């Protein structure tokens, strides 16, 4: 959807936790330097799954210093609350605090009743450790689990607050509570499409006049003993390589699967009038969005159709040639990349007529629900400068007709469209441009 209105939605602050750095400038520098964050697992056992490598956000430890500058009272509150936050939720809260600080949207600069939170998240899995003690007490002499003993013997060993650590609505809840934000609060859970869907919902909420400012973000981790197991069973993951840096190869002829990762990012979205009234530094403007879900089609190209839908919706009536660049999903699997490339050609024409296309996944894999927002931050920071190239794309697949960015020095332009899609055909896209 592309709306023309006197009410405009702008971005005034950014926060990021990623495998390539925990601030927007570090993230962008790593992308331009061609750095890879893919390495051996430290949080998942090696030698037992089909992959031993992923892109971990190693710079995020969960220490209160990772949340950015804040007063001592808020530090104590968050440190205490971390007892009921898993890693994904901690990352989500941290990037929100970083974005608030970046936007200078402190308690004196915001109306708590008209400031809210819209967050994207995936389903979050409990760590096996939560149940290990209880399960061990229900084993018989042969080491077999006796389910009949669970209610009386095993269950009392489980922390009664364990579920609070894994609910996907908790990032938005914690952020609102810690900062006393009483405006609209929403949680979007559509896997990789969550970030774009959250930003779309935030845009609509601000356009409707239901809030003046929103913290918009997403968080995700596919590096987890059970989550990584699920991915290895349900998806096509890249085969182990002697050099893990070459495992993620979006749109390359030799690509053989995606790589798991983790990360989170957030941005402060405000109405233009609110941002101007408080003298905020305006970074960019949200000008279009699209969301679509397409079920299985006769030809099997349901991913293509979903992406076509959201690209057209995000463009609206704008000339496709005016777009500075496209930040593609670029998952790195044969089918997803092929269908995405064909969707881009259907909307933008042959490669010679397309804006340059890039993706960050060659550098850091699939961050799940957090990936789309991290990618948005990377593209936003690129506006007005050069675009980062697609890492590991040395032989563009003939079945992927895109204007792939494979050389440095390509202008990023003053606008971009970011697109993400789930394996089930849920897609989202957002269009952002430099503020003028």
Average pLDDT over residues 398-414: 97
* Same domain (yes/no): 258, 360: no
In this predicted model, what pLDDT tens digit does every residue of 201-211 receive, in sequence order? Answer: 999 999 999 99
Contact 67, 93 (CB under 8 A): yes
* Same domain (yes/no): 87, 176: yes
In this predicted model, what pLDDT tens digit does every residue of 324-358 receive, in sequence order? Answer: 999 999 999 999 999 999 999 999 999 999 999 99
* Same domain (yes/no): 193, 87: yes
CA distances from 86 to 29, 96, 178 (A): 29, 16, 16
Tokens of 42: 């430290």
- DSSP per-residue string spanning 264-329: EEEEEEEEHHHHHHTT----EEEEEEEEEE----TTS-HHHHHHHHHHHHHHTTS-GGG--EEE--
Residue 284 in this model has a pLDDT that exceeds 60: yes
* Same domain (yes/no): 107, 208: yes
CATH of the domain at 382: 3.40.47.10
Q: Which residues of 228-257 are buried (b: 16+ CB within 10 A; e: fewer)?
A: bbebbeebbbbeeeeebbbbbbbbbeebbb
Q: What is the pLDDT of residue 255?
A: 98
Residue 63: give the domain boundaries. Answer: 9-127+167-284
Average pLDDT score over the chain = 95
Return phi, psi of residue 85, to 5°.
-130, 125
Tokens of 28: 């962008």
Average pLDDT over residues 118-122: 96
Point out the least confidently predicted range of 3-7, 42-46, 234-238, 334-338.
3-7
Point out the least confidently predicted range of 4-13, 60-69, 305-314.
4-13
Residue that wins the pLDDT comparison between 380 and 2: 380
Identify the domain boundary among 258, 284, 310: 284
* Same domain (yes/no): 272, 249: yes
* Same domain (yes/no): 104, 190: yes
Residue 2 in this model has a pLDDT that exceeds 60: no
* Same domain (yes/no): 374, 245: no
Residue 362 in this model has a pLDDT that exceeds 50: yes
In this predicted model, what pLDDT tens digit does every residue of 18-39 receive, in sequence order? Answer: 999 999 999 999 999 999 999 9
* Same domain (yes/no): 274, 422: no
Give percent above pLDDT 70 in the chain.
99
* Residue 3, domain member (yes or no): no
pLDDT interval class at 4 (50, 70, 90): very low
Contact 316, 328 (CB under 8 A): no
Total residues found in the chain within this entry: 436
Residues 6+ apart with CB under 8 A from 100: 13, 15, 106, 179, 215, 268
pLDDT interval class at 299 (50, 70, 90): confident
* Residue 1, domain member (yes or no): no
In this predicted model, what pLDDT tens digit does every residue of 53-82 receive, in sequence order? Answer: 999 999 999 999 999 999 999 999 999 999
Q: What is the pLDDT of residue 6?
A: 59
| Residue in 339, 331, 352, 364 with CA at minimum distance from that of residue 404 | 352
Q: What is the pLDDT of residue 3?
A: 46
* Same domain (yes/no): 17, 137: no
* Same domain (yes/no): 122, 236: yes
């Amino acid at each position: 959807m592309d709306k023309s209105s006197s009410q405009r939605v702008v971005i005034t602050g950014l926060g990021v936790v990623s495998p390539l750095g925990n601030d927007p400038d570090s993230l962008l520098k790593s992308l331009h330097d061609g750095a890879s964050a893919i390495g051996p697992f430290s949080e998942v056992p090696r030698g037992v799954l089909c992959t031993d490598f992923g892109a971990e956000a190693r710079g995020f430890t969960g220490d209160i210093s990772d949340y950015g500058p804040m007063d001592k009272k808020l530090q104590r509150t968050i440190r205490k609350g971390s007892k009921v936050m898993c890693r994904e939720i901690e990352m989500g809260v941290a990037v929100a605090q970083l974005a608030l600080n970046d936007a200078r949207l402190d308690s004196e600069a915001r109306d708590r009743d008209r400031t809210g939170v819209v967050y994207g998240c995936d389903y979050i899995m409990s760590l096996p450790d939560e149940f290990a003690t209880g399960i061990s007490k229900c084993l018989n002499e042969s080491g077999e689990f006796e389910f009949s003993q669970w209610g009386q013997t095993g269950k009392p060993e489980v922390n009664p607050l364990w579920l609070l650590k894994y609910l996907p609505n908790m990032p938005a809840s914690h952020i609102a509570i810690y900062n006393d934000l009483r405006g609209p609060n929403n949680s979007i859970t559509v896997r990789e499409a969550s970030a774009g869907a959250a930003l779309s919902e935030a845009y609509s909420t601000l356009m409707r006049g239901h809030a003046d400012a929103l913290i918009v973000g997403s968080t995700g981790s596919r590096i987890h003993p059970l989550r990584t197991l699920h991915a290895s069973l349900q998806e096509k993951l890249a085969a182990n390589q002697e050099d893990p840096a070459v495992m993620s190869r979006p749109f390359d002829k030799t690509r053989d699967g995606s790589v798991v990762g983790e990360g989170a990012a957030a941005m402060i979205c405000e109405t233009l009038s609110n941002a101007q009234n408080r003298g905020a530094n305006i970074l960019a403007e949200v000008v279009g969005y699209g969301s679509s879900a397409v079920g299985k089609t006769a030809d099997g190209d349901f991913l293509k159709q979903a992406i076509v839908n959201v690209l057209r919706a995000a463009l609206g009536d704008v000339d496709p040639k005016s777009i500075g660049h496209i930040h593609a999903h670029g998952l790195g699997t044969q089918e997803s990349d092929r269908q995405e490339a064909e969707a881009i050609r259907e909307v933008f024409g042959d490669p010679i007529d397309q804006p340059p296309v890039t993706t960050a996944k060659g550098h850091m894999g699939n961050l799940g629900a957090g990936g789309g927002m991290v990618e948005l931050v990377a593209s936003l920071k690129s506006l007005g400068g050069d675009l980062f190239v697609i890492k590991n794309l040395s032989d563009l697949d003939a079945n992927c007709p895109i204007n792939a960015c494979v050389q440095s020095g390509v202008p990023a332009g003053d606008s971009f469209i970011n697109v993400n899609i789930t394996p089930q055909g849920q897609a989202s896209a957002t269009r952002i441009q430099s503020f003028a």
